[in-house]
Amino acid sequence: GAVVSQHPSRVICKSGTSVKIECRSLDFQATTMFWYRQFPKQSLMLMATSNEGSKATYEQGVEKDKFLINHASLTLSTLTVTSAHPEDSSFYICSARAAGLRSQETQYFGPGTRLLVL
Amino acid sequence: AQSVAQPEDQVKVAEGNPLTVKCTYSVSGNPYLFWYVQYPNRGLQFLLKYITGDNLVKGSYGFEAEFNKSQTSFHLKKPSALVSDSALYFCAVMGVLNTGFQKLVFGTGTRLLVSP
């Protein structure tokens, strides 16, 4: 149980284009989903927190107009990197926290998406 | 503010020997503590957590961790290491945001290398 998927696993795009990454909780409903960014050999940096049906809460220094987050249902959140540039190249990881009484404190992570902007 | 320290960038151990990966934390109130493991180019896999109760927590793949309140530590341990345990290990502590959501704060990670 508690499986989170991400799609795509890897994407290469040209500078200036937009890229959408999907995060799905496969066997549970997620009230809250999180988006992280991880640079090589570094820890995870929280970008934003999203609750189903409401606007995402962005961490300080993260541009909300550049990283658009939509949490349209209890099993799906999307991150869109708009007008991507080479400095946006990174490993993006989502996580989800379960609704109801089931281990609300535990976050389950997706496998990550490697973005390379040329 | 919550913080997590993993003082060792890398831990090397021979297969079959016990391993310890260290973690100390700072948090207001009672801590929720977690260990995650990351294999190359993959997301994080949940290993174990401490919320309350018994200080010794057992998790996946034979790992365990001991919560020590006086030393504010939550070291990860395994009695007998396997080569397949080689990976990047993250300790994390649960904090509280102004919005009321609980924010997970990660340490910088410790790379475990288990030699045959």
B12-30 pLDDT, tens per residue?
A: 999 999 999 999 999 877 7
B43 to A6: CB separation less than 8 angstroms, yes or no: yes
The pLDDT of residue A40: 79
Of the candidates A42, A46, A91, the beta carbon closest to that of B103 is on A46
3-class DSSP assignment, residue A43: coil
Minimum mean pLDDT among B27-31, B98-102, B104-108: which range? B98-102
The pLDDT of residue A103: 63
The pLDDT of residue A104: 67
Quick: pLDDT tens for A88-109.
999 999 999 887 655 667 889 9
**In chain A, whose CA is at the least distance from the CA of B111?**
A41
Of the candidates B49, B99, B109, the beta carbon closest to that of A106 is on B49
Which chain B residues touch A107 with a CB distance below 8 Å?
46, 104
Report chain B residues touching chain A, CB-CB < 8 A: 32, 34, 36, 41-46, 49, 51, 90, 94, 97, 99, 101-104, 106-109
Mean pLDDT on B95-113: 76
Q: pLDDT higher for A16 or B94?
A: A16
Query: Whole-angstrom Cα distance, residue B96 to residue B26?
Result: 13
CB pairs below 8 Å between A and B: how many? 54
A4 to B43: CB separation less than 8 angstroms, yes or no: yes
Mean pLDDT on A3-11: 94
The pLDDT of residue A39: 83
Checking if the pLDDT of B101 tops 50, the result is no
Q: A67 with A84: CB under 8 angstroms?
A: no
Quick: pLDDT tens for B35-67.
999 988 788 899 999 988 899 999 999 999 999
Checking if the pLDDT of B69 tops 80, the result is yes
Angle formed at CA A85 by CA A80 and CA A88, multiple of 5 degrees: 65
Q: State whether residue A42 sits within 8 Å of chain B by CB.
A: yes
B104 to A57: CB separation less than 8 angstroms, yes or no: no
The pLDDT of residue A100: 64
Query: Whole-angstrom Cα distance, residue B94 to residue B51?
Result: 10
Strands (E), chain A: 4-7, 10-13, 19-25, 30-38, 44-51, 57-58, 67-73, 76-81, 90-98, 107-109, 113-117
B36 to A109: CB separation less than 8 angstroms, yes or no: yes
Nearest CA to B56 out of B86, B25, B79 is that of: B79
Quick: pLDDT tens for A27-52.
888 888 999 999 877 788 999 999 88
Q: pLDDT higher for A54 or B6?
A: B6
Mutation target among B2, B106, B111 for the A interface, most CBs of A within 10 A: B106
What part of A 88-107 touches B (C-beta under 8 Å)? 91, 93, 95, 105-107
Tell me the pLDDT of chain B averaged across its residues. Answer: 90
Tell me the pLDDT of chain A averaged across its residues. Answer: 90
Checking if the pLDDT of B95 tops 80, the result is no
